[in-house]
Structure formats: structure tokens, C-alpha cells
Amino acid sequence: MIGTAVYFAEGHLRAFLSFGARAEIQRSATQTLSLSNTPFEGRRRRATIEWRVTERFGKVLPYATIVRYFIASDGKRGQVLVVTRLTEKEACHVAHIDALANSDAIMMARRVADEVAPKFDCRSEPRVEGTPGILRR
């Protein structure tokens, strides 16, 4: 989204993404999936971010993002959609959705982004939506 900072970090084979003016100190800057992951597919070094936005007072404001992470676990590969809430004051993971175990994963992610993310308490842990698949703990 034009004008919204995106923070990216990597550590221990995991990616961390956060958003907003103070992205690097938001909770989402410390949140990742428990499995090895990256938002980059194959050799591409470019992630795709779906911005969920609203318009207020003539300004377009993002309230959530959806990012597809590519997962590797015990020789298995998977994909997880991560829904992140964002406001002017906070950013945090809301939900994780296995994109391969759920045939309607992107629709689920959009519903969570639109209905759950705006009211989500960032002190809470993100929830697994739909069939857990690779997210099974």
C-alpha cells in the first residue's frame, strides 16, 4: 500500500513481516510460523501482499494484509496464508490458514481479514482457521 512501511527480517530459517510507521517494533515483527518459512516462492525475491483497505475522510487506510508463506517441514512442503491486523498503533498476526488443505483458503483469509482482524485483540495468539493441514501441532 503506498505510504505504508513494510518491515522484513529473517532468522533461523523463518521470515518476519510487519507493517506501518513503527513496523519494526510491532508485535508482528516478532511473529512467524513455527515451521521453516519464507514469503518468497522459489528463487523469486519478491513477496505478494494483499492489502485490505477502507476509505475514511478521503484517505485509503489499510486494516489488514494477507501474505502467502511457503513452508518446509520434515521434507514436506506447504503454503500458509497469514492474516495480519494493522492499525496506526499496532500490527499482529490474526490467523494462519493452510492454503493447500483448504480449497477456499483465500476466501477464508479475506473473510477473517474483513470480519475478524478489525476487532482482533493483538494480545491474543493467532488462530488456525479451517483444516490445519501442515499447521497441525
- Strands annotated E in 12-102: 14-19, 36-38, 49-56, 59-73, 76-86, 91-98
Find, among 60, 52, 56, 54, the residue nearest to 81 by Cα. Answer: 52
- Name the amino acid, one letter, at 124: S
**Collapsing DSSP states into helix, strand and coil, what is residue 94?**
strand
- Name the amino acid, one letter, at 84: T
Give tens-digit pLDDT for 63-103. Answer: 999 999 999 878 889 999 999 999 999 999 999 999 999 99
Confidence check: pLDDT of 37 > 80:
yes
Quote the pTM value.
0.94
Instruction: Tell me the CA distances in angstroms from 120 to 2, 83, 108, one per residue in order.
Output: 24, 11, 16
**Collapsing DSSP states into helix, strand and coil, what is residue 33?**
coil
Domain spans of the chain? 6-135
